[in-house]
Amino acid sequence: MRLHLYQRGDVWWVRGSDGGERVRKSTKQTSVAKARIVRDRWEREFLDPTHFRAHQATVATAAERWLREIRKGMNPETVRFYDAKIRHVVRVLGKTRLAKLTHDRVL
């Protein structure tokens, strides 16, 4: 989808359509350069939504998902052990996106 910039007052907006679905969103930017950066990011998100979702995953969401999966087949005591360990990791790194997680960040 190609998004086009236009200005309403001081704020830059984008508009476009994809298969009949119309998109109109504010970039919340008054600078055209910053609005172009936002527009370009949104275009990449529309082109590959799977890639976008993968880069939005955080340590906290991955930990929650993993705990849900192990609860199905593991001993409850083992799950409780892992839950305690994971809570500490989430407390320290919970908002970190998985795509940005590095060895140095963990240390």
pLDDT at 70: 92
Residue 55 burial (C-beta neighbours within 10 Å; 0-12, 13-18, 19+):
middle
Amino acid at 103: H
Q: Can you tell me the distance from the alpha carbon of 59 to that of 87, in angstroms, rounded to the nearest whole number?
A: 11
Q: What's the pLDDT tens digit per position in 11-68?
A: 999 999 877 788 899 999 999 999 999 999 888 888 887 777 777 889 999 999 999 9
- Could you tell me the pTM of the whole model? 0.54
3-state DSSP call for residue 1?
coil
- Structure letter (DSSP) for residue 57: -
- Structure letter (DSSP) for residue 99: G
Domain borders along the chain are 4-47, 59-106
Q: Can you tell me the distance from the alpha carbon of 28 to that of 32, in angstroms, rounded to the nearest whole number?
A: 11
Closest CA to 101 of 64, 42, 55, 69: 55
Which helix (H) or strand (E) element contains residue 42?
helix 32-47
pLDDT band, very low/low/confident/very high, at 7 (cuts 50, 70, 90): very high
- Would you say 16 and 1 are in contact if contact means Cβ atoms under 8 Å apart? yes
